[in-house]
């Protein structure tokens, strides 16, 4: 099979990231090789592993069998119940440490020998495409979006020497749930960095080069197809402060970018919409961003949602037609 190139942008979505992996599997089966990759939060995890050489089959085993509760690593205050968690939020701006995740992800990267952004350089002379991977984070100290690694220069840091695991840890730092990452700039000022989903959970624009569109960019989005109607809310029991935070943040992270995709740039047409509603016990169930109790059966169902969505997308995808329609003239906002 002749290999075809494709760039990919992955939306964030917490535990729903297994749906992204199912879609990746179908894209690989169709003969595509991933070139430039970008993502936010869970999407950054998938993009990061692909960037260092992992394949869909390996990702399914990694993401599909992980125990998300291990990511809820608690410090001393957190172990004191709800009062301790509240104290942790006040003192450290988050409940969970995030150290387990960073080590877990770093160990996966180490198995490939590619742990720094300098290990995944491309042959592209353009600065914005120098590294195979780009991830989104949010600098709430300066109220701005960060594209890593390239924005690290503004902190006086060498992008090539920066650990990939650290950047992805920044991107997946769901506010309140995880302690933010603090990054010190050249002036000695500490910046508080949190989940990229606050500002762009689906950065389809990031790899959009209309001048040299020689292969496509596919977007992997964890929602129903763009033609859907606005989803009705579903009840979530809120019995204590932890339930409240879970409901609030799950809503926040799940709502970003849903209706901010450009029609004129062809974003809808290049987006693989992966349903997050699965069938379980004969009933529909929507998987939430912070649903850490997801079962193996639910995980498999979400994976299959992604695989089916990508296959249906490819059945109607024609790059030349898309390019002729959306790149033959300057696009408007």
Please tell me which residue in 78, 195, 257, 267 is annotated as part of the active site: 195
Residue 123 in tokens: 């042959």
> Is 41 considered catalytic here?
yes
Residue 25 in tokens: 């599997």
Distance, in Å, from the CA atom of 312 to the CA atom of 28, rounded to the nearest integer, reads 14
Half-sphere exposure of 263 (CA within 13 A, CB side): 3
Residue 261 in tokens: 């995709």
Residue 330 in tokens: 């300057």
Say if strands 144-148 and 133-139 run parallel, antiparallel, or are unpaired: antiparallel
Distance, in Å, from the CA atom of 110 to the CA atom of 112, rounded to the nearest integer, reads 5
Local structure of residue 116 (DSSP, 8 states): B
> Is 195 considered catalytic here?
yes
Please tell me which residue in 7, 41, 208, 267 is annotated as part of the active site: 41
Cβ–Cβ contacts within 10 Å for residue 58, how many?
Answer: 15
Residue 129 in tokens: 């495409």
Nearest to 44 by CA among 182, 172, 153: 172
Residue 222 in tokens: 């964890």
Q: Which residues, other chains included, contact 230 with Cβ-Cβ below 8 Å and sequence gap of 6+?
A: none
Nearest to 144 by CA among 94, 190, 196, 93: 196
In the block, tokens 């693989």 appear at 272
Say if strands 190-195 and 217-221 run parallel, antiparallel, or are unpaired: unpaired
Show the beta-strand stretches assigned E in the chain.
Answer: 4-10, 32-40, 94-96, 133-139, 144-148, 176-178, 181-184, 190-195, 217-221, 271-273, 277-280, 283-286
Local structure of residue 74 (DSSP, 8 states): B
Catalytically active residues are: 41, 195
């Amino acid at each position: 099979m002749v290999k075809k190139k494709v760039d990919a942008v992955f939306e964030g979505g917490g535990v729903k990231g297994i749906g992204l992996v199912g879609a990746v599997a179908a894209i690989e089966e169709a003969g595509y090789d991933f070139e430039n990759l970008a993502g936010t939060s869970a999407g950054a995890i998938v993009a990061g592993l692909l960037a260092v050489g992992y394949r869909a089959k390996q990702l399914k085993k990694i993401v599909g069998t992980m125990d998300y509760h291990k990511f809820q690593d608690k410090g001393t205050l957190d172990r004191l119940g709800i009062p301790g968690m509240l104290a942790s939020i006040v003192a450290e701006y988050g409940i969970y440490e995030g150290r387990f995740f960073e080590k877990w992800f770093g160990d996966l990267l180490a198995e490939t020998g590619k742990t720094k952004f300098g290990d995944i350089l491309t042959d592209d002379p353009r600065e914005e495409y120098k590294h195979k991977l780009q991830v989104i984070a949010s600098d709430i100290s300066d109220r701005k979006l960060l594209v890593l690694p390239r924005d690290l220069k503004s902190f006086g840091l060498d992008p090539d020497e920066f650990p990939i695991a650290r950047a992805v840890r920044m991107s997946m730092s769901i506010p309140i749930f995880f302690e933010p990452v603090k990054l010190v700039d050249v002036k000695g000022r500490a910046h508080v960095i949190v989940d990229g989903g606050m500002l762009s959970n689906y950065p389809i624009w990031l790899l959009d080069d209309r001048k040299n569109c020689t292969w496509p960019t596919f977007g992997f989005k964890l929602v129903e197809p763009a033609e859907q109607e606005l989803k009705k809310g579903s009840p979530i029991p809120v019995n204590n402060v932890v339930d409240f935070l879970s409901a609030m943040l799950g809503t926040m992270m799940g709502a970003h970018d849903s209706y901010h995709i450009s029609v004129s740039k062809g974003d809808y047409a290049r987006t693989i919409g992966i349903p997050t509603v699965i069938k379980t016990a004969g009933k529909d169930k929507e998987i939430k961003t912070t649903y850490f109790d997801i079962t193996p059966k639910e995980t498999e169902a979400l994976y299959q949602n992604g695989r089916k969505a990508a296959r249906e997308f490819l059945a109607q995808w024609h790059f030349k037609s898309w390019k002729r329609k959306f790149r033959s003239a300057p696009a408007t906002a």
